[in-house]
Amino acid sequence: MRFRNWLAILAGVLPMSLVVILVFLTAYAWPAIRFNGWGFAFRDMWNLGNLYADPVMSAGVSIQPGAEYGILFLIAGTLLSTIIALLFAIPVGAGAAVFLAEAIPGQLRTWISLFVELLAAIPSVVFGLWGYVVLIPFLGHHVFPFLASRLDLVPFFGGPPGSGYGLLTAGIVLAMMVVPLITATLRDALVSQPVALKEASIALGATRFEAIRYILLPRTRGVLIGATFLALGRALGETMAVLMVSGNALNYLPQNIYSPISTMAAFIVSQLDSALQDPSGLAVKSLAEIALVLCVISVLVNAAARLMLAAWGRTFSTARGA
Question: Hey, which residues between 63 and 82 contact other proteins (CB under 8 A)?
Answer: none
Q: Using CB under 8 A, which of 39, 66, 91, 160 touches other proteins?
A: 91
Taking CB under 8 A as the binding criterion, the range among 41-49, 57-65, 88-96, 151-159 that sits at the site for other proteins is 88-96
Among 38, 52, 106, 121, binds other proteins (CB under 8 A): 121
Return d(Cα 223, Cα 163) in angstroms, integer: 38
What does the per-residue mask of binding to other proteins show for 21-60, with x meaning CB under 8 A? x--xx--x--------------------------------
From residue 198 to residue 237, the character string flagging contacts with other proteins as x (rule: CB under 8 A) and all else as - is ---x--xxxxxxx--xxx--x--------------xx-xx
Q: Which is nearer to other proteins, 72 or 240 (CB)?
A: 240
Least Å from the CB of residue 118 to other proteins = 6
Q: According to CB under 8 A, which residues from 251 to 270 bind other proteins?
A: 265, 268-269
Task: Write out the binding residues for other proteins, residues 131-190 only, by CB under 8 A.
Answer: 132-134, 176, 179-180, 183
Q: Shortest approach of other proteins to residue 206 CB, angstroms?
A: 6
- Give the residue with the Cβ less far from other proteins, 11 or 253: 11
- List Cα–Cα distances, 134 to 107, 126, 147, 242, in angstroms: 33, 11, 19, 15
- Minimum CB separation from other proteins for residue 143, in Å? 14
* Binds other proteins (CB under 8 A): choice among 92, 143, 151, 225: 92
* 281 φψ region: left (φ > 0), alpha (ψ -120 to 50), beta (else): left
* Closer to other proteins by Cβ: residue 156 or 306: 306
Query: What is the distance between the alpha carbons of residues 279 and 263, in angstroms, rounded to a whole number?
Result: 25
Per CB under 8 A, 294 contacts other proteins: yes
Residue closer to other proteins, measured from CB, 153 or 203? 203
Contact status, residue 181 vs residue 234, Cβ threshold 8 Å:
yes
User: Which of 42, 214 has the CB closer to other proteins?
Assistant: 214
**How many residues of this chain bind other proteins (CB under 8 A)?**
87
- CA triple 36-40-42, angle to 5 deg: 145
> Exposure of 165 by Cβ count < 10 A (0-12 exposed, 13-18 middle, 19+ buried)?
buried
Nearer to other proteins, 13 or 196 (CB): 13
DSSP count for the chain of H helices, then E strands:
15, 4
End-to-end distance of the chain based on CA atoms, in angstroms?
A: 32
Q: Three-state DSSP class for 285?
A: helix
Can you spell out the DSSP letters for 196-221?
HHHHHHHHTT--HHHIIIIIIHHHTH
Q: What is the closest distance, in whole angstroms, from the C-beta atom of residue 158 to other proteins in the complex? A: 26
Which string of DSSP letters, residue by residue, matches 222-282? HHHHHHHHHHHHHHHH--HHHHHHSB--SS---SSTTS-B--HHHHHHHHHHHHTT-TTSH
- Return the DSSP state at 62: E
Work out how close the CB of 144 gets to other proteins at its nearest, in angstroms, rounded to a whole number. 18
